[in-house]
Structure 1
Amino acid sequence: MNKPIAVDGVILAGGEARRMGGEDKGLVTLAGRPMIEHVIARFEPQVNALIINANRNHDRYARTGFGIVSDRDIGEYPGPLAGMAAGLAASEAELVAFVPCDAPLLPRDLVLRLSQALQQQQTDIAVAHDGDYWQPVFVLMKRTLLPSLDAFLSGEGRKIMHWFQQQKMAKVLFDDQLNAFENINTPEHCQRIEQQMMES
């Protein structure tokens, strides 16, 4: 796959995973491997360098061979935006792409299509949309947005789309890949996705 120039990738694995009983979702076993390994297999070929955003189990994530970065301390649990801020701060690339650790079916052309939209529409952020809903944790953004994001978080902003809508943003349709954005939130869902992977 052709890689867009100067794009780093960040896998967001810093969540609390309450619906999984608090178990670290990136390390949940799926089809015999930790879930994050399935995400890496699809995402890593699309970027120039890969970083994992994690707030616990650093030793286990380090076994993947990629760098680990934690959220900075900004008070109460700030959600995915804190992981995005940490990823932007850790990267030296012009553009940074983000995906969650619980989406093992993510598009193999995600970064390419987001990058094309960002460049063609001359925006600062490109966000995936499945035809019905925004998929805000599947996003590509310019690293120069870090000061804006830090200010938003410092002002106790937490809603991803609220911050996105303050920027120049491109909507990128992926309605041709209907299952690509399924994220695994429960053990039952994990079993269903595993069966789907075995049958495909």
Structure 2
Amino acid sequence: MTVTRLVLASHNAHKLEELRRILGPLIPGIELVGYNGPEPVENGLSFEENALIKARAAAAHTGLPAIADDSGIAVDVLGGCPGIFSARWGGPSRSDTANVDLLLWQLTDVADEHRAASFVCAAALVVPPGEGADLTGGPGAGEVCELGVWPGRVLRQPAGEHGFGYDPVFQPQGEQRSAAELTGAEKDLLSHRTRAFSALAPSIRSQLGGEHLPS
């Protein structure tokens, strides 16, 4: 089996583990590796723009084809916020606890029927031009971005020990549990990240030379 290396433009070990689980069955010939290079300024105005900024930076730094995601929670009654600011909603500490606490405080007086929200993920692929990329016959430069949305609502208090970020206060549509109460396998079937990267998988195969990747 030919193996093609792909770098994930993130320093988040939880995200690397999750994406290895997601992409493994979709593209068995991919070896997903972590990234320890500089983080770019995420000054995009959408999830898609920020995902591409991160993937471009990792591809340029490593010479490898790179994937990145930008994701967050969009709450209807807050006009789609925290949105692209989800990771730093609670202030400069960028703490999951601070982010969740502020969101719950903001929704204190909002009735259950008006707490609709979605997890949103933009998944980007950037293939660097030329021969520097570790490709098996890939076609050169290419950029693709796909969006995944996981609808649900915001709970009144955290529940569950799995996951990270806003998972403990997000109840997926059709579920009685929070995202943090789902097992990793259950979450992988449903999540916004799975939806986005499942949509991106055909482009990964195409951009990296699909004839070299096993079905």
TM over 0.5: no
TM-score by length of 1: 0.32
- TM-score when normalising by structure 2: 0.31
